[in-house]
Chains A and B, each alone.
Chain A
Amino acid sequence: MTIRLTINSKEIITEEGQTVLEAARQNGITIPTLCYHKDLSPVGSCRLCLVEVEKWRGLTAACTLAASDGMVVHTESPTIFEARKTVLDLLLLNYSDAGYGEFDGHDTEFKHWVKAYGASLPAGYKPQPKYPVDSDPNPFVWVDLNKCILCTRCVRACAEIQGRFVWGVGYRGHEAKIIAGEDTTMLEARCESCGACAAYCPTGALDHKLSVGAGTADRLVTTTCTYCGVGCQFDLNVKDDRVIRVTSNPDAPVNGMHLCVKGRYGFDFIHHPDRLLAPKVRRYLLEGGAKPPGDQRSPSSSRPIPWDWVEVSWETALDIAAQKLTRTRQTHGSDSIGVLTSAKCLNEENYLMNKFARQVVGTNNIDHCARL
């Protein structure tokens, strides 16, 4: 059902079931938010998206307010500004930033709104850290609850996006804090280190451990993950031609903000010294000799040994592979050969490997790593 409401004197037509926040955003009206995220169920707890509804008492959170026919909403007024600023002032009271992430790029959502509303601490007040910085041994997710504002986006991302239920809210009142499992470590609480919690965190309380302190990116490169066939997209954060961080790209068509541990954190191979950049073959294959006995693998000798890897051109490498495959098929038959393809290959490449196995080699022995 279509409904008509008025936001800031502008008539807005939307569908029943939309919230005032959604209706406002669709019409280019900005309402500040922290606990709200479009991917997550709204909870209305941070109270930053306060708006006035005519004939209603007090202020109402726009993120949980169902738009209804004839509603008259104001999203900006001195009262609203003052209330939002006070909410941010209050959040600052318990926000202790040790400063390590200062040069890690754009402002967090929280810092953005703090600046926009000129929120500040009372004169002479210094927030005290209550928790150790980097308090969780998870190798990928950085935890600093001193920056937590209890928006619970991490809790909802873990439950609603990843379905792991690692994060929860423990304790009560001003002692409330985000807990993993029975207030244990993330991995004990069966975390898969997908990093969704850190991706959704608006304050940097949860961050990417590999990238904390890595600096600001010069450019973002949107690319497709090479790990599997799902085709997730994300942004490589590049600084001085090195990838320093992977961030979710909310517009990614397949995955949105969601990534797995490999896509989000497995980027160290890009610049790893062990990474193969050209084909390599064993020295004895180049020299045309037969396979030498295994005991000659010992690196004790200083002269070149037959088992060494030697970098060669693609032509040479493919020729050797083709010769060996042909010889094997002639000697032992087609079914002595098997083909295992990789999720890192494109669908087209996997298709070609299928043709290669069945039509060129003549075997049905073909499988794919994603099926294992």
Chain B
Amino acid sequence: MPRQTYKPIDPQITALVEEHGSSSEAVLEVLTDLQELRGQLTPSAIADVARLLHIPAEKAYGIASFYSMLQIAGQEVGKQRLVRLCDGPVCWLCQGASTRQAVESALAGQQDWKIERTSCLGLCDRAPAALVDEIQVGPLHPEDALKLASGFAGQAVDYSRLRPGELRVMLAQAGQIDPDSIVSALTHGAYQALGSALARPAESVLREVEESGLTGRGGAGFPVGRKWRFVAQAQRAPKYIICNADESEPLIFKDRVLIDTNPHQLLEGMAIAGYATGAHEGFIYIRGEYASQAKRLELAIAQAEEAGWLGDNLQGTSFSFHIHVHRGAGAYICGEETALIESLEGKRGEPRNRPPYPPTAGYRGLPTLVNNVESFNAVPAILLNGAAWYRSLSSYPTPGTKIYMLLGHVNKPGLFEAPFGLTLRQVIEQFGEGMLPGSEFNLALTGGAAGTIVSSASLDIPIDYASASNGISLGAGAFFVCDQRVSPVALLRELLHFFTVESCGKCTPCRVGTQRSLEILDQLVARQGKPEDIKELQTLADVMQSASFCGLGQSVAVPIKSALSNFKPDFETAFSSIELDRKKR
């Protein structure tokens, strides 16, 4: 029997743990930093971290093996440059496979480089995209693969110009301010809303947000004011404000653009939320792949503290508010608010049972407000201009504006801001300037990866949070428009690949249901399907929707069900030739 022999703890790990305050909540950060130093995490290093943080080794290993950005290796092979190639649906459509081949051959035989696949990087407007160490790269066309080693990063998209029909509130300062300079932000009105809020009673700020009718922009559309009210009414303290910047759903990249254009608008929104609800500490949980946005936020926080808009006694008032940036490490599931809280507490990002909901018992079991980046970004303008003004922006029942992401075979893809109630036809014709030459509309995936796959029959339905009942969902606001070359079966297969890789594995319907759906879709894409496959997919979608543990697992059913109901013939032509013959007879 091999016996464990005593091994002193690695002094470098001891130093690292002390740097993070020896708190078990810091385990993810310690592991991330350790990997940064060493290149890989070995089981023995993970066990050392566990001993120093006084957590069981299985817990630390469970965390290290959960997050996709952490690499476990039997032995350290030293630091390598890491290229993470996005295999999200937009990069798939934009010939990501050719880029992958080109990068693989460009880096072939180079020991100090490593290539990995990764789920959607949130760079859909720069597809095909990659992450080289922490640098966001895109578009990365095959011919650019050889330039990766010399620091090629592609080109970020400029959103400073308005499209016809756009109405900008959250994006009003895009291109006008230097996002890394608070001086620039202040000259364009940053923190004026916070200043005016601090001069009012908290209750009046809360009522303004309630009356504005602002709804949560993460996808569910829950009234923001009502959520704030729950937290404000909670008796226990301290309370926490969390910004969900874990934007990991394929097609969605609005939070990245919002942070890159005006990080102070987010900080201001969070501070107002803190004032209205009685919280004094906030966290921005940002996905690990957004390293440059995390750095931008850290800089903005430091500048805002310097200027007295964050920190202790804001502008000489009795209100204090601190914001910390917490980086994730690669997990779509952490966009689910309770999984995010688990992750923030230094655990595997698995969702919690609800109720209790976070406003009652969230971070550290205390009252917690979790809102999306876009929701916080909408707040300052509401405070400055009033709820009535916000409601007047939209002639549709849902007040205010929304950031939309438009991708695929249109002339002008990208991101824009407009009120609710747009139709898909408007989005394509007016904002996207029509389909590409030679392209005919075939289908669109709306909302996000967990959205609806719709046909031309849905082109004229006004879209908002309620339109899902009419078969077209708004979700987080993405439209992925595909022409006649894209098969709904193949697109659905790409989505299920994502959900299978990103399922946390906690509950049976999502863990096995996604895996089984992918197996079936692989067969259908290869034209090896069977008639009973359609029924099985339907059953799988039913059980995922009705019985999955969390909202993300439940939403996997949405693209499956919509694709099956809108594109049944496409699934039927994906049967194997034997089955097709049998069907004809």
- Of all chain A residues, the one with the shortest Cβ separation from B509 is A47
Residues 2-50 of B at the A interface (beta carbon under 8 Å): 2, 4, 43-44, 46-47, 50
B59 at the interface (CB under 8 A from A): yes
Knowing A47-B549, A58-B546, A83-B543 are in contact, say whether A64-B514 is a contact too (CB < 8 A): no
Cβ contact within 8 Å between A91 and B512: yes
Least CB distance from B52 to A in Å reads 14
Give Cα A170–Cα B509 distance, bound, in whole angstroms.
19
Residues 496-526 of B at the A interface (beta carbon under 8 Å): 500-509, 511-516
- Chain B residues packing against A (C-beta within 8 Å): 1-2, 4, 43-44, 46-47, 50, 56-62, 65-66, 68, 331, 348, 353, 355, 500-509, 511-516, 532, 536, 539-540, 542-543, 545-549, 554
Which residues of the other chain, B, contact A172 by a CB distance below 8 angstroms? 65-66, 68, 331, 503-505
Q: Which of A48, A82, A94, A182 contacts B61 (CB 8 A)?
A: A182
Contact with B along A132-146 (1 / 0, CB 8 A): 000001000000000
How many residues of A are in contact with the other chain, CB < 8 A?
51
Cβ contact within 8 Å between B355 and A66: yes
Least CB distance from A136 to B in Å reads 12
A252 at the interface (CB under 8 A from B): no
B contacts with A: majority SS: helix
Give Cα A106–Cα B548 distance, bound, in whole angstroms.
31
Residues 180-215 of A at the B interface (beta carbon under 8 Å): 180-185, 187-190
Least CB distance from B351 to A in Å reads 10
Cβ contact within 8 Å between B532 and A150: no
Give Cα A167–Cα B543 distance, bound, in whole angstroms.
29
A306 at the interface (CB under 8 A from B): no
Q: Which of B58, B508, B515, B546 contacts A181 (CB 8 A)?
A: B58
Cβ contact within 8 Å between A173 and B503: yes
- Of all chain B residues, the one with the shortest Cβ separation from A158 is B58
Which residues of the other chain, A, contact B4 by a CB distance below 8 angstroms? 188, 190
Give Cα A363–Cα B143 distance, bound, in whole angstroms.
95
Knowing A173-B500, A173-B502, A174-B503 are in contact, say whether A187-B43 is a contact too (CB < 8 A): no
Cβ contact within 8 Å between B532 and A181: no
Q: Which of A59, A94, A137, A155 contacts B547 (CB 8 A)?
A: A59
Which residues of the other chain, A, contact B543 by a CB distance below 8 angstroms? 83, 86-87, 90
Cβ contact within 8 Å between A83 and B62: no
A1 at the interface (CB under 8 A from B): no
- Chain A residues packing against B (C-beta within 8 Å): 43-48, 50, 58-59, 61, 64, 66, 79, 82-83, 86-87, 90-91, 93-94, 122-123, 137, 149-150, 155, 159, 165-176, 179-185, 187-190
Least CB distance from B43 to A in Å reads 4
- Of all chain A residues, the one with the shortest Cβ separation from B56 is A165
Knowing A83-B546, A181-B47, A187-B1 are in contact, say whether A47-B507 is a contact too (CB < 8 A): yes
Cβ contact within 8 Å between B504 and A173: yes
Cβ contact within 8 Å between B554 and A45: no
Knowing A83-B543, A170-B65, A181-B47 are in contact, say whether A175-B505 is a contact too (CB < 8 A): yes
- CB-defined A-B contacts under 8 Å, sample of 22: A44-B507, A47-B547, A58-B545, A79-B546, A86-B547, A90-B508, A168-B56, A169-B62, A169-B348, A171-B65, A171-B66, A172-B503, A173-B503, A173-B514, A181-B57, A181-B61, A182-B50, A182-B57, A182-B60, A183-B65, A184-B43, A187-B2
Which residues of the other chain, B, contact A83 by a CB distance below 8 angstroms? 542-543, 546-547
Give Cα A188–Cα B353 distance, bound, in whole angstroms.
33
Least CB distance from A67 to B in Å reads 13
Knowing A45-B549, A91-B508, A169-B62 are in contact, say whether A183-B43 is a contact too (CB < 8 A): yes
Least CB distance from A56 to B in Å reads 11
Knowing A50-B547, A174-B500 are in contact, say whether A189-B512 is a contact too (CB < 8 A): no
Give Cα A369–Cα B372 distance, bound, in whole angstroms.
63
